[in-house]
Structure 1
């Protein structure tokens, strides 16, 4: 059965595809996924139901009979999870941050590196030292103090806003992304900014049986586990 498409739907589809292609954060597999979702959500092609809106269906369209297709689609979507990445906040190589008598910091190459949390913002800043024993002792003392402070503050430390991911969500708006992200990664939590308040409709696949979530007004997108099949 052919679905009649309005001019506004066709125009929206065209604009969505153009925006996906122009977005520098959307390339490779993620771009192919985005183009498939644009067609499905805007033009209703394929129509939802019976697993037709699923990671498995996307894999079949993108990879054909390739066995690893569903796994690759899920991995591309997981990499697009909205999240805070401390490396995005702190580009470049870390330097020794231990204080010096005649300079603010040592700035030598590091042997111990990591991050420490800013208790006011929740964002993470580089925390690294060189091989000097006194600098490493300073690092350990600072680390103990940081851990004690964070334990004392507990939930009062804010969550930092996402600084990566969520690229498809910027362009594909007819999917309940928050619930879908949670299905992709059960450890995922909505970032401090941009958390969805809409109620999505998704289908969870358990042992190949579809269990529709209530609220049929929202589109259905399905996560298929066990990608090597």
Structure 2
């Protein structure tokens, strides 16, 4: 067994303690975070070394966390069923990381349960809004902040709702509302501050662009770069004299 230094053990303990204490890091995300903490701080599992670069593969994560991959197949009776596969479920790791991309999620702004629908916001004579159950609903954009507000309408206020959406769309097109500040994702990023997560997120989702942040962030010491082939990532030492991060975390594309 590789001898571990006290600073490495202490850094790993603090990282895991913070991950477990974070109420937003749960389930598969917590498992992946704990695996990353162990790999980065303790080099467990032991990485492969190529040209001085320590390298792990995404299947290594899946093999430890999700060894049973359920693939859908056609059974003898003609029905689609799930059966265990010999390969670890590395796609599950990919989805965990992708779902944690830093972004703006309009659902978070509404402060409503996922199953709930908004009440009717149609105007009334004797009170501010109707308040009945909604027959239809949709988002209206605040042109000053770019944030979205979920608005519902009952059958009586359907025409009012359609007009509100039409007017809002015209105003947004004419004023070019700013991108809204991020309010979701980035949960692992706050526990691994030295990683340059945006480089990874843009590879996980090519359409991703960095949303505005309400608070600034420290300069990263790790750079996440995804290659064109393979499914590996590595922690690589870079030149200490250049104005670059000290390490690079490299992750290959998934296929």
TM-score of the superposition, structure 2-length normalised? 0.75
Paired residue secondary structure (1:74): helix
Paired residue secondary structure (2:137): coil
Asked if residue 173 in structure 1 is aligned to residue 196 in structure 2, the reply is no
CA distance in 2, matches of 1:210, 1:55: 6
Correspondence list, 1:120-131, <5 A: 120-131=144-155
1:158 match: 178
CA distance in 1, matches of 2:11, 2:232: 30
Asked if residue 225 in structure 1 is aligned to residue 243 in structure 2, the reply is no
CA distance in 1, matches of 2:195, 2:152: 42
1:140 pairs with one of 129, 149, 162: 162
1:200 match: 223
Report the number of matched residues: 219
1:37 match: 36
Greater alpha carbon shift after TM alignment, 9-18 vs 215-224: 215-224
Greater alpha carbon shift after TM alignment, 41-50 vs 98-107: 41-50
Paired residue secondary structure (1:149): helix
Paired residue secondary structure (1:103): coil
Asked if residue 56 in structure 1 is aligned to residue 80 in structure 2, the reply is no
For residue 104 of structure 1, report the CA deviation from its aligned partner.
0.9
Which of the two has greater helix per residue? 1
For residue 35 of structure 1, report the CA deviation from its aligned partner.
0.9
CA distance in 2, matches of 1:160, 1:115: 14
CA distance in 2, matches of 1:136, 1:224: 46
CA-atom RMSD, angstroms? 2.8
Closer/same/farther in 2, CA of residues 184 and 209 from structure 1, 3 Å limit: closer
For residue 209 of structure 1, report the CA deviation from its aligned partner.
8.3
Structure 2 residue ranges without an equivalent (≥5)? 70-86, 239-245
Closer/same/farther in 2, CA of residues 186 and 43 from structure 1, 3 Å limit: same
Structure 1 residue ranges without an equivalent (≥5)? none
CA distance in 2, matches of 1:223, 1:115: 37
Runs of at least 4 residues of structure 1 off by over 6 A? 209-212
Greater alpha carbon shift after TM alignment, 163-172 vs 66-75: 66-75
Larger relative contact order (CA 8 Å, sep ≥ 6): 1
